[in-house]
Amino acid sequence: MRGVQLKTVATGARPAFADTIIRGDCVAALEQLPAHSIDVVFADPPYNLQLEGGLTRPDQSVVDGVDDAWDQFASFEAYDAFTRAWLLAVRRVLKPDGTIWVIGSYHNIFRVGTMLQDLGFWILNDVVWRKTNPMPNFRGKRFTNAHETMIWASRGPKSRYTFNYEAMKAFNDDVQMRSDWLIPICTGSERLKDEAGDKLHPTQKPEALLARVLLASTEPGDIVLDPFFGSGTTGAVAKRLGRHYVGVEREEAYIEAATARIAAIETAPAAALQLLKGKKAEPRVPFGALLERGLVQAGAILSAANGRHQARVRADGSVESGSHSGSIHKVGALVQGLDACNGWTFWHTHVDGRLALIDTLRQQVRDEMAVAGG
């Protein structure tokens, strides 16, 4: 099901709203999109910072806090109502197997997380963005606020969501990617500036953060929605990685800047966008195929690595061991007294007097199939 949609998108038949920025209020704008049309949502909503009075550094210079009108809410109730409204709007356009990311700080993320759960989303992970270079706590009254939190959730408990496990593992030097990511904040040339040379947007996110998000949870050709598009980091990274984006943004100045920013981005070559896939993505080879190709003979004896278990291959591709019979997996489980067993990585054949794992024979078949397939 998913693969069909993916191919459609990849061949150019993508919806008209792909790679556009919709100007307007988040909820109203999302009503223009068809239901179940979005693969992944990345949302960076207002944090509802409650700053009272100005903050100064030890040298009395003024800290440029986030005090924009869009970040002001009268109460927690007002913020909850706002959160509920945009999450419901997003939920409508999200595909059943889609996922959503929301980033926030302790000011708002707990309310967002609660609302996500209340609306039926199923939290998959909370991911901590650890900043290499956070703003210090100038007054020495708290711990340096050195991280932000992202919640990653599927639309519901049974969703079959996309997670590029092998790619993340390779990215992380062959150990599983953890839920804490160390990434610098957005500074220097990456940070968009206005005419006066000041930062254009108060909370521009680093492209590295979005890149990891999209590499983990999308495939090339997927459509990513950002309902608080701002300076367009989501769109820029989506384009660079060969994904499509849809942005919603209220302020014209941000839309203009984001449009110019994204126009300057080049999509990486297709070869570089190939995602590392695990064994699950490889074609299934039944054990019987090994018999058909003569790699295993009917009547041959399979052995466990420790020599404790043996089984005889039957002509139909099943095996038997004592009173047990069935697939290589079933018999492997039975002789060990386990609930399950991967027969491919349990049984060995005798080749030239030595034991060889039958999984290596399967790989031979797969290699032959790859050649035949082109």
State which of positions 261-290 bind DNA (CB under 7 A).
278-280, 284-287
Residue 122 binds DNA, judged by CB under 7 A:
yes
Going residue by residue from 255 to 294, which x/- string records binding to its own copies, judged by CB under 8 A?
-------------xx-xxxxxx-x----xx-xxxx-xxx-
Spatial CA neighbour of 94 closest among 7, 133, 139, 36: 36
Residue 120 binds DNA, judged by CB under 7 A:
no
Give the nearest distance from C-beta 75 to its own copies in angstroms. Answer: 11
Backbone angles phi, psi at 231, to 5 degrees: -80, 0
Query: Looking at 12, 69, 160, 337, which residue binds DNA (CB under 7 A)?
Result: 160
Which one, 8 or 32, has the nearer CB to DNA?
Answer: 8
Residues 238-257 that bind its own copies (CB under 8 A): 241
Sign of the torsion angle spanned by Cα atoms 291, 294, 299, 305: negative
d(CA 43, CA 226): 5
Give the nearest distance from C-beta 75 to DNA in angstroms. Answer: 11
d(CA 295, CA 75): 71
Q: 3-state DSSP call for residue 275?
A: coil
Going residue by residue from 197 to 236, which x/- string records binding to DNA, judged by CB under 7 A?
-xx--xxx--------------------------------
Q: 3-state DSSP call for residue 188?
A: helix
Determine the residue type at 140. G
**Residue 63 site contact among its own copies, DNA, none (CB < 5 to 8 Å, cut-off depends on kind):** DNA
Sign of the torsion angle spanned by Cα atoms 196, 198, 203, 36: positive
Going residue by residue from 341 to 360, which x/- string records binding to its own copies, judged by CB under 8 A?
x-------------------
Q: Site for its own copies (CB under 8 A): how many residues?
A: 109
Residue 373 binds DNA, judged by CB under 7 A:
no
Residues 31-60 that bind its own copies (CB under 8 A): 56, 60
**Residue 112 site contact among its own copies, DNA, none (CB < 5 to 8 Å, cut-off depends on kind):** its own copies
Give the nearest distance from C-beta 327 to its own copies in angstroms. Answer: 4
Instruction: Measure the CA dihedral 71/133/201/68, to 10°.
Output: 20
Contact present, 92 and 146 (Cβ < 8 Å):
no
Going residue by residue from 319 to 338, which x/- string records binding to DNA, judged by CB under 7 A?
-------xxxxx--------
Residue 129 binds DNA, judged by CB under 7 A:
no
Stretch of residues binding its own copies (CB under 8 A), selected from 31-39, 63-71, 324-332, 350-358:
324-332
If one counts every other C-beta atom within 10 angstroms of the C-beta of residue 221, the result is 20
User: DSSP states of 295-334 as a string?
Assistant: SS-TTPEEEETTSS-EEEE-TTS-EEETTEEE-HHHHHHH
Give the nearest distance from C-beta 216 to DNA in angstroms. Answer: 14
User: How many CA atoms within 13 Å lie on the side-chain side of 323?
Assistant: 0
Residue 308 binds DNA, judged by CB under 7 A:
no
Residues 161-180 that bind DNA (CB under 7 A): 165-166, 169, 174-176
Query: Looking at 297, 345, 360, 364, which residue binds DNA (CB under 7 A)?
Result: 345
Residue 182 binds its own copies, judged by CB under 8 A:
yes
d(CA 26, CA 23): 9
Sign of the torsion angle spanned by Cα atoms 60, 70, 45, 251: negative
Compute the C-alpha angle 92/211/4, nearest 5°: 50
Query: Looking at 4, 53, 173, 264, which residue binds its own copies (CB under 8 A)?
Result: 173
Contact present, 82 and 47 (Cβ < 8 Å):
no
Joined tokens for residue 80: 């909850």
